[in-house]
Amino acid sequence: MMSFDPATLQQNWPLAAKPRPIVTFGAGSIVGDAHYPAYRKGGFPIAGLFDPDQAKAKKLADEWGVTAYASVTQAAAVEDAIFDLATPPSRHADILKALPEGSFALIQKPMGSDLAEASEILRICRERNITAAVNFQLRFAPMMLALKDAIRQGWLGEVIDFDAWLALDTPWSLWPFLDGLPRVEIAMHSIHYIDLIRQILGNPLGVHAKTLGHPNHKVAQTRTSAILDYGDKVRCALSVNHDHKFGRRFQACEFRISGTEGAAYVKLGVNLDYPRGEPDELMIYPKGGSDWINVPLQGAWFPDAFVGRMANLQRFASGEDQELVSSVEDAWHTMALVEAAYQSSATPATPLAQKTEA
């Protein structure tokens, strides 16, 4: 029997031979902290960006030596560009309507504010022949590419258990556009995990969920418990608490994935002390093994997953990749699962039986 060699696991996505210039809509922190560092690292040419806040756009453009466009129309006129929509979810549809027919676009997650907006985005992309992917970049993190390769190679057997456990102190103030939004935690954060689980396990039969806020702040939801129903063989659960503000010692951001013959442990380091973060970790207990084996990682979720996400879209545009990962067609199903989770949270739980007095 072959022995498990962590060095054989895929950890990065191949780059495009001739990448197209990137035009970004939005100048928020995610662009300067993740998109542009990743694009520079991957060798992708950045043409420029547009943001209605011209001062913020010019500041970021000057930092990166790119153009700050004066309007959506001017930004959309850049030829043969990949359009990078780093915009709030409610703005995606309007930007897509302004892009040339036949364009290629990357849409920041979520794919709209709710399933109705996701369906509208899908309609616009079909109508205007826009080839679009959604920025579910966790699928491209080195640790996740390696995990999925280990699963493909059979080192875990059949995956039958997936646990996501988070106890964090998340700085929601970094994203001021979240203020007043009715949907936050699942739609903006746990959507990453839900999407990755879909890629590994497929679509569930349904979901049981409860998502809620915290009395110490006004963010709509920052705590979630969810069970994804995959029938009688697979157990899948998420426990998420972004309000664990009691020091690093018992904070966590980790997955435990168990199969019939092996298991994996993943630490998502960026969320611990975000955005500085800690190193990611991946350990595998392989089929036929007798102990956990560390997988040395070549990069981290931020920024390397953003490199891979853009590389796949660039390569699909040039014909080098045959599959567009997280296309709007596929991402719609992640949005449907998010919608179902919110519906479940709004539905009363099964009540306890009431004791009757004799």
| Residue spans per domain, the chain | 8-138+307-341, 139-298
Domains 8-138+307-341 and 139-298 share a fold: no
Per-residue pLDDT tens digits for 216-264: 999 999 999 999 999 999 999 999 999 999 999 999 999 999 999 999 9
What is the fold of 8-138+307-341?
Rossmann fold (3.40.50)
The average pLDDT across 161-184 equals 92
In contact, 61 and 49? CB cutoff 8 Å:
yes
**CA atoms within a 13 Å half-sphere pointing along the CA-CB vector of 283:** 11
Per-residue pLDDT tens digits for 74-117: 999 999 999 999 999 999 999 999 999 999 999 999 999 999 99
On whether the 139-298 domain is CATH 3.40.50.300, my answer is no
Q: In angstroms, rounded to a whole number, what is the distance separating the alpha carbons of residues 239 and 223?
A: 8
154 is written with which tokens?
Answer: 């059979």
Residue 358 has pLDDT above 70, yes or no: no
Residue 294 has pLDDT above 80, yes or no: yes
197 is written with which tokens?
Answer: 């689980």
323 is written with which tokens?
Answer: 């599959």
Res 313: pLDDT: 98
pLDDT category at 299 given cuts 50, 70, 90 is very high
Res 357: pLDDT: 79
pLDDT category at 1 given cuts 50, 70, 90 is low
Give the percent of the chain with pLDDT over 90: 94
Contacts 24+ apart (CB under 8 A), 287-290: 287/4, 287/154, 287/155, 287/156, 287/157, 287/259, 287/261, 287/262, 288/1, 288/3, 288/4, 288/261, 289/4, 289/262
Entry pTM? 0.95
Residue 212 has pLDDT above 70, yes or no: yes
